[in-house]
Structure 1
Amino acid sequence: MSKAFIAAVIQDSIDCTGVAANQAASDLMEAIIKELKREGGFTLPSFGTFTVKKTKARKALNPRTGEPVKVKAGKTVRFKASPNLKKAV
Structure 2
Amino acid sequence: MSKAFISQVIQDSASLTGTAANRAATDLITAIVKELKKTGKFTLPSFGTFSVRKTKARKGLNPRTGEPIKVKAGKTVRFKASPTLKKAV
Q: Which amino acid aligns with 2:40?
A: G
Q: In structure 2, what is the Cα distance between the partners aligned to 1:29 and 1:84?
A: 23
TM-score by length of 1: 0.99
Q: In structure 2, what is the Cα distance between the partners aligned to 1:47 and 1:53?
A: 19
Task: Tell me how large the CA RMSD over aligned residues is.
Answer: 0.4
Task: Give the alignment of 1:10-89 within 5 angstroms.
Answer: 10-89=10-89
Task: Name the SS of the counterpart of 2:5 in structure 1.
Answer: helix
CA drift at 1:42: 1.4
Deviations 1:24-83 (A, max 9, x none): 000000000000000001111110011000000000000000000000000000000000
Matched pairs, number: 89
Task: Name the SS of the counterpart of 2:43 in structure 1.
Answer: strand
Q: Which runs of 4+ in 1 moved over 4 A?
A: none
Q: In structure 2, what is the Cα distance between the partners aligned to 1:70 and 1:83?
A: 38
- Aligned sequence identity (%): 79
TM-score by length of 2: 0.99
Q: In structure 1, what is the Cα distance between the partners aligned to 2:42 and 2:15?
A: 29
The unaligned stretches of length 5 or more in structure 1 are none
The unaligned stretches of length 5 or more in structure 2 are none
